Amino acid sequence: MGAPLTPKRDVVWIDGLRGIASVLVVTAHICRSLVPHLLSPAMSDKLPPTLFQLPFLRCFVMGRASVAVFALVTGYVNSLGPLKKSRTGNADAALSGVAKSAFRRFGRFMIPAVVATTFSWLACQFGAYSIAHSANSAWIRDTSPRPSASFAGAFYDLFKNLGTTWIDGFNAYDRIQWTLTFLLKGSMTTYLTLFALVYVKPRWRMALLAGMYYFKWKSGDSLVGFNVFCGILLAELSVDGDVTDFAAAHPVLQSVTSASAIFLGLYFCSYPEENPEWAPWSKSLLHLGHWIFPNGVEYSRYYPGMGADLVATGIMFNATAKKILSHRFLCWMGKLSWPVYLLHAPLIRTVLTWVLFGASVRPQQGKDQNGNQLPPGWLPIANTWVVVFALPLFYVFLYRVAGLWAQYVDPWCTNVTKVFEEMVFRDDAKVEKPLLIS
């Protein structure tokens, strides 16, 4: 059996992939705000597509594949260390690490979300979303909360939304946090799977993981379910000497297969959220979905999920793709992916909205047939040049704020988690070991 890949080679490209996924989430929400027609594959069933409605190019403005990537990364990163220990006969240490990481995951995941929600709540109460309520963007208006009716009511609304974020996925102060409960479930699914399979022989473990992937596929769990198991399975394959030896012994087959997987995966990730019947390529995928997907599922989640799995699999066996994703700039973006995800939506509804719509005047709509004055229309974008200059600057601003978050808020959240850990852990469990979660 060949030597397993080093941890550096195993994980660095994942940071780059996560960095790309996070910036695509931001781009997707900006496009949903300003150019929602990009959700469809063409302008109508009788008009041709614009540039970013074409397959592959659509991936730059689609965000659903990014959620699938986050789920896959969760499975991959959190299982890689325990699987290595299991293969070296150190299963007890693997179980100890999994137990501690599962406990820490709640603090590392939930505390930053609470802080981000509190910041958005403060912005709401001080009227920071007032322009967003009148902007000519349905997504910005629909996701911008209004101030509470009273001082006491404001605190009630805050604590209510802090709870409902994890109960039913609703958070009025940051609607995109609905994904967090699913990603947290994905983390716990990863840990539970490792607990169950850490003593299983590698070949049987791979077979069982493939079976769980199929089960999640057939049960309709497209948001994170089968993507998490794909991540665990990829982690298993990355430390399997026979697999790496076979790939190294067949470089042409490896190159062709991995490139084909990436190509096909990006094509699947292009599947539109709306009106797939408007373009021949997406209509063909719609018909294919009738054959390969379970009944009643949402194709616009299954296709990006399947595509993300194929892309990640292709990258793992493609040295060039891994080298590109290991670039320090992409890895830097990956390190900031969590604060970028938490901060980008409130900043779109405040800072970006102020710049794009703040200098505009609501147009008068005239009077109705009875002579009554109609309410004014929505605030238009100031002008095209404002958009051209504002969008790049917004990305710079967003990553600067995310960097400050990573510098000051993340360490504070980590310390809070450690303090609670010291309170509740037994003395023999307080020995510090490297975390499985980046």
User: Which has more pLDDT, 428 or 310?
Assistant: 310
Give 192-225 pLDDT, tens digit per residue: 999 999 999 999 999 999 999 999 999 999 888 8
The answer to whether residue 329 scores a pLDDT higher than 90 is yes
Confirm if 11 and 438 have CB atoms less than 8 A apart: yes
The answer to whether residue 433 scores a pLDDT higher than 90 is no
Residues 179-191, mean pLDDT to the nearest whole number: 94
pLDDT band at 4 (very low <50, low <70, confident <90, very high): very low
Q: What is the pLDDT of residue 436?
A: 38
User: Which has more pLDDT, 51 or 431?
Assistant: 51
Burial class (CB in 10 A: 0-12, 13-18, 19+), 325: buried
The answer to whether residue 347 scores a pLDDT higher than 90 is yes
The answer to whether residue 435 scores a pLDDT higher than 70 is no
Integer Cα distance of 377 and 134 in angstroms: 8
Residues 303-313, mean pLDDT to the nearest whole number: 97
Entry pTM:
0.91
Q: What is the pLDDT of residue 216?
A: 95
The answer to whether residue 5 scores a pLDDT higher than 50 is no
The answer to whether residue 434 scores a pLDDT higher than 50 is no
Q: What percent of the chain has pLDDT over 90?
A: 82
Give 56-78 pLDDT, tens digit per residue: 999 999 899 999 999 999 999 99
Q: What is the pLDDT of residue 376?
A: 72
User: Which has more pLDDT, 269 or 430?
Assistant: 269
For 407, residues 6+ apart whose C-beta sits below 8 A from its C-beta are none
Residues 82-108, mean pLDDT to the nearest whole number: 91
Give 361-398 pLDDT, tens digit per residue: 777 766 666 666 667 789 999 888 999 999 999 999 99
The answer to whether residue 1 scores a pLDDT higher than 50 is no
Q: What is the pLDDT of residue 8?
A: 46
Residues 33-52, mean pLDDT to the nearest whole number: 95
Q: What is the pLDDT of residue 368?
A: 63
Q: What is the pLDDT of residue 373?
A: 62
The answer to whether residue 335 scores a pLDDT higher than 50 is yes
Query: Comparing C-alpha atoms, which of 27, 33, 17, 23 is closest to residue 353?
Result: 33
Q: What is the pLDDT of residue 19?
A: 96
The answer to whether residue 432 scores a pLDDT higher than 60 is no
Residues 401-412, mean pLDDT to the nearest whole number: 96
Confirm if 18 and 69 have CB atoms less than 8 A apart: yes
The answer to whether residue 430 scores a pLDDT higher than 60 is no
Residues 136-164, mean pLDDT to the nearest whole number: 96
Q: State the chain's mean pLDDT as an integer.
A: 91
Q: What is the pLDDT of residue 218?
A: 94
Q: What is the pLDDT of residue 276?
A: 97
Give 113-135 pLDDT, tens digit per residue: 999 999 999 999 999 999 999 99
